[in-house]
Structure 1
Amino acid sequence: MSNRRKFLVQLSVITAAITLPKFARSSVQADDEFVIAEAVEGKLRGIRKDGVCLFKGVPYAGRLSGDRRFKRPAKLEPWQGVRDALEFGPPAIQGDTFNPSSREDCLFLNIWTPANDGKKRPVMVYNHGGGFANGSGAAPGQDGTNLAKLFDVVVVETNHRLGLMAFLYLEDIAGPEYAGSGNNGLLDIVDGLKWVKKNIAAFGGDPGNVMIFGESGGGAKTSCLYAMPAAAPYFNKASIESGPGLRMLPKEAAMEMTKLVFQELNIDLKDWKKILDVPVKDLIDVQNKVPRLMANSDYIRKHGVVGFVPNNFAPVVDGVALPHDPFDPFAPEISKDKPLMTGWNEDEWAFFAMYSRDVGPLKSDFTFEALQAKFEPEFGADTKKIIETYRRTRPNASASDIWMAVKSINMMGLGTIAIAERKAEQHGAPVYLYNFGYKSEAKIPDTDYPFGTPHAMDITFKFNNEVPGAKPGFLSGSKPERFVASHHMAELWTTFARTGKPAAKDVPEWPAYNLNDRPTMRIDTTCEVINDRFKEELAMWRSIGRISYHPLNSR
């Protein structure tokens, strides 16, 4: 198995390390100021703190447990009186990082707003990372307070089903009641978007101006939502960040995974209802075995690796909820008129290397001969061409630098560029391509090599949580310059949410991506537009079939 596959199998666990909240104690203080908002289902009591109203653990759909397992949720029933929205709701059932506070009944969202005053502010709905198996809409790094307070927007984050609980494909064996079961996790997010459409005006938001965005697995979720008919009426623009979801699971692969689950549980397919009574912990144990079982299956031997997180539970291209792969071979026609941002971090692999403990290539004694040996299992006969190209375009780069650059663009960059190209070729709403490039000086553990711009570091930056007085992030380092880069990123994102065109003070105009100039905004303390960035490297990647472009006239 290649290093890329090894990491991706662990992707949800890795991202969850920084995306899961702590639920150990109440965050309500004796002197807190309470505020009331009235949703369609009833009144909610939240907290006003630091100039922002926060409503936590707001239910947006009904029960999932018991006979609702693997179905669409029960209807959300109205409540009498005032319901407290003071504590985060339980996260979804998690994968390898099984969380004792997790619950099947997890459909809650959190709202940060400057005021529930009837003003129509842009609404930013964030899809959390953690692959498709872990994470939460309540992680500290993605706290929406600063975006709401400093940029006058409303931020919403949902919990939704994950892993096997979210994507077990049952409709071929369980019938129409389980239609869409392979996409329940995405359809949960759609239910959250429906709730926003119906209720967000009561929280100072504009239901007619909603942006969806997400990082890593959240970027892949956003890629899918961008292609889903059920989601289309409920958002106006999107941003896919370090998580290009070009392709999802074919139905046949999803059905193979379903068969493996039932085999592990010793349940015959004709007795499928027995799975409704299986304890959650047993389901998670099986979920964690599936990638290995799939990797050794006849299906994978015949068809090759499938899925955003290889051979693992993910959205299913079922022809209905998700009619086709999100961005392969074309951008979705259903969102042709919706502006899009997409991009990746320059040193994505630094994060992956740390958590997979694959830091040998970052040591000072790592040679180009060792680089060749390191790449050959993954790139085979193309290894020499890849190294030669990067040594030519980066003559002062060390073997470690080239390892980082190649692994980073191959992991997240090539798919992101494909999305930008396929969106641009539609000649519809614009797409804006970025590279996040602020360099952290913090060292990758057990090395003297700095993180640079690793995967997931952008979360605290785009939420403007890198500010004076904030505790320095583990990834982002402690240089004060990070405050400037964070403000740039947050302002670009919130302006895009407001207008559909990213812009910020002291940042050059960001032109839409096109197939001639191919402009990319590099985001840092000083931002710059770079045309046709990585031109020679991308020509090489195309020549070996790692990135493909399908012009409209090839249909």
Structure 2
Amino acid sequence: MTFTNRRHFLSQVSFAAAALATSGFGFTSHVKRDGFVEVEIAPGKLRGVRYEGVNIFRGIPYGGKVSGDRRFRRPAPVEPWTGVRSSVFGAPAMQPPRHNEPAPAEDCLFLNVWTPGNDDKKRPVMFYSHGGGFVIGSGASQSQDGSNLARNFDVVVVQTNHRLGLLGFLYLDEIAGADYAGSGNMGMLDIVDGLKWVHENIARFGGDPDNVMIFGESGGGAKTSCLYAMPTAAPYFNKASIESGPGVRMTTKEAAAQTTAMLLRELNIPSKDWRKLLDVPATDLLAIQAKLPFVPPFIDKETNKTAQPGAGGFGPVVDGNVLPHHPFDPAAPEISKDKPLLVGWNEDEYNFFIWQRKETDLVKMDFDGLHKKLEPFHGADTGKMIETYRKTRPDASAIDIFVAISSIAMMGLGSIDIAEKKVKQNGAPVYLYNFGYKSEKKILNTDYPMGTPHAMDISFKFNNEVPPKNPSQPSESFFGGKKPERFVASHHFAELWTTFARTGKPAAKDVPTWPAYNLKDRPTMRIDTNCEVINNRFGEELAMWRSIKKA
């Protein structure tokens, strides 16, 4: 029995991320500069921008050509350059155009660095993988700008662009031969190349190559789950955080091969002539990709088969080599046993999707409507589910319960599953969290507040919710609202994460001691203006979910 139709949810994540990409939600524009700073790495000299105590290096190539004869393969080496390379964002991976960014391009292997100084200090390195499922996104979103983390907490922040969609995850291993081994995971191997670049170069940017934290939200959380299980990534990081994107299981070879066959049929290319894919313009491949399902089908853990008919979607493939097994099934990956982990989700994840899909009628639903809305996903268990949530939340409205059920089904159950499996491994600690700061902003033209929706945590954990320099200027966050107390919640979140990056244990001033997760007390840190540790949070509700799972 599956908890929810994960394919339906992930498709919403991809479409919602696409909406953010085109809505103007926080994409970095030009930065005013205080001066320049130069650094030399093996391929040549880089010129960064110095701005309010942070050196910003944008568009650094960490891999070479991935187009032409390198399509679906490992990248060519970075070509050396003469002179000094300026700090300009590199092209994002092929996707619809992004607001205030360069045009997407097939050759997209660039990274960005924010550092307090190009000196000999050994600062913790925070290596972030962007969200957007596995089909859109880039390392240039303003909400995830690394300046404030670097400036306020003395860390180095790194973010990559990497291949996405079918150009990053088309599985050709079974028809294309040894040169294309690992083709279903090129996008993940790009990220590993970024980590390798950090290991080799970050000391020149004031970072410690032996103290690297990987983290990511939504699709970036799933990427982090995969990195946590990948042998090629293992030497290059020490700790990880999986945020609102628990990647417990990924695509099987069988499902990925079906998707490849479907793509070839769509292009009228026989499998023996697969090389013709190398001649199809990238823009045409992007158009074809848009006709296919956005994400791979959910893989049922009991049968190891797709829980929905049909193929489609592009994401990491459990190929037995690059990704040897599912990241957290049947157990936490042994290869990262000794690496501390953070994992968690936002309390009101689904409000993001109500906003994005303009599902304003949901806000008005009664309890009969709630049953009708949930039944297609939860079947005969729907009544038991609603009964449990009405008992534990006696004052909640129908929409409140719908959001609570949908949010934990999307992100919470997988996060808890990861935490439990990590505990059972008897290795490094795992810390479970919920982000709970409540935005007063209303969803569309309703009176229903956003609460703590999916993606709101990004600007908070990057400490990009800060008071304006001019107190007379209005200050409002895209999701976070206008209340000044959000600045305190953001500082807590950022300090917890940067302390974890530095020491492997999350801590912050004016925040209670955060105990590692265990199977007795099941402590969860609720992150807000006033943070608190809650033992066995959602205990009665989780007991219901577990009973459904065993049914």
TM-score by length of 2: 0.93
Amino acid at match of 1:183: N
2:7 touches 2:296 (CA, 8 Å); kept in 1? Answer: no
Deviation at 1:100, TM superposition (A): 7.7
Q: Which residue of 2 aligns with 1:162?
A: 164
Post-superposition CA distance 1:116-158 (Å, at most 9, x none): 0111000000000000000000101000000000000000000
1:57 touches 1:108 (CA, 8 Å); kept in 2? Answer: yes
Post-superposition CA distance 1:227-259 (Å, at most 9, x none): 000000000000000000000000000000000
1:18 touches 1:141 (CA, 8 Å); kept in 2? Answer: no
Deviation at 1:42, TM superposition (A): 2.1
1: CA distance between counterparts of 2:25 and 2:404?
34
Q: How does 1:199-218 map to 2 (within 5 A)?
A: 199-218=201-220
Post-superposition CA distance 1:48-80 (Å, at most 9, x none): 011100000000011111111111000113333
2:148 touches 2:462 (CA, 8 Å); kept in 1? Answer: yes
Q: Which residue of 1 aligns with 2:50?
A: 48
In structure 2, the gaps of 5 or more residues are 298-302, 470-474
Structure 1 stretches of 4+ with a deviation exceeding 4 A read 19-26, 95-100, 292-295
* Shift in alpha-carbon separation, 1:459–1:448, aligned structure 2, 3 A: same
2: CA distance between counterparts of 1:541 and 1:91?
39
Post-superposition CA distance 1:481-532 (Å, at most 9, x none): 1000000000000000000000000000000001111000000000000000
* Shift in alpha-carbon separation, 1:200–1:320, aligned structure 2, 3 A: same
Q: Which residue of 2 aligns with 1:483?
A: 487
1: CA distance between counterparts of 2:316 and 2:323?
8
Query: Match of 1:186, SS?
Result: helix
Q: Which residue of 1 aligns with 2:300?
A: none
Q: Which residue of 1 aligns with 2:342?
A: 341
Q: Which residue of 2 aligns with 1:506?
A: 510
2:446 aligned with 1:447, yes or no? yes
1: CA distance between counterparts of 2:543 and 2:26?
49
Q: Which residue of 2 aligns with 1:321?
A: 322
Between 501-510 and 264-273, the greater mean CA deviation after superposition: 264-273
Deviation at 1:22, TM superposition (A): 9.8
1: CA distance between counterparts of 2:5 and 2:132?
19
2:145 alignment partner, one of 143, 146, 162: 143
Query: Match of 2:293, SS?
Result: helix
1: CA distance between counterparts of 2:412 and 2:263?
33
1:16 touches 1:129 (CA, 8 Å); kept in 2? Answer: no
2:541 aligned with 1:537, yes or no? yes
Q: Which residue of 2 aligns with 1:472?
A: 476
1:242 alignment partner, one of 241, 244, 250: 244
Amino acid at match of 2:47: R
Deviation at 1:369, TM superposition (A): 1.5
2: CA distance between counterparts of 1:105 and 1:51?
32
Number of matched residues?
Answer: 536
1:40 touches 1:198 (CA, 8 Å); kept in 2? Answer: no
Query: Match of 2:292, SS?
Result: helix
Q: How does 1:449-464 map to 2 (within 5 A)?
A: 449-464=448-463
2:27 touches 2:143 (CA, 8 Å); kept in 1? Answer: no
TM-score by length of 1: 0.92
Q: Which residue of 1 aligns with 2:30?
A: 27
2: CA distance between counterparts of 1:229 and 1:304?
26
1:19 touches 1:140 (CA, 8 Å); kept in 2? Answer: no
Deviation at 1:285, TM superposition (A): 1.8
2: CA distance between counterparts of 1:462 and 1:489?
5
Query: Match of 1:291, SS?
Result: coil
1: CA distance between counterparts of 2:111 and 2:361?
41
Post-superposition CA distance 1:412-452 (Å, at most 9, x none): 00000000000011110000000000000000113211000
Query: Match of 1:10, SS?
Result: helix
Query: Match of 2:314, SS?
Result: coil
2: CA distance between counterparts of 1:457 and 1:122?
24
Deviation at 1:24, TM superposition (A): 11
Amino acid at match of 2:337: K
Percent identity, aligned pairs only, is: 66
* Shift in alpha-carbon separation, 1:320–1:302, aligned structure 2, 3 A: closer
2:331 touches 2:421 (CA, 8 Å); kept in 1? Answer: yes
Between 489-498 and 278-287, the greater mean CA deviation after superposition: 278-287
Deviation at 1:398, TM superposition (A): 1.1
Q: Which residue of 2 aligns with 1:357?
A: 358
Query: Match of 2:330, SS?
Result: coil
Deviation at 1:474, TM superposition (A): 1.8
1: CA distance between counterparts of 2:308 and 2:489?
36
1: CA distance between counterparts of 2:76 and 2:233?
19
Query: Match of 2:58, SS?
Result: strand
Q: Which residue of 2 aligns with 1:551?
A: none
Deviation at 1:15, TM superposition (A): 1.9
Query: Match of 1:155, SS?
Result: strand
Amino acid at match of 1:504: A
Deviation at 1:26, TM superposition (A): 7.6
Deviation at 1:376, TM superposition (A): 1.1
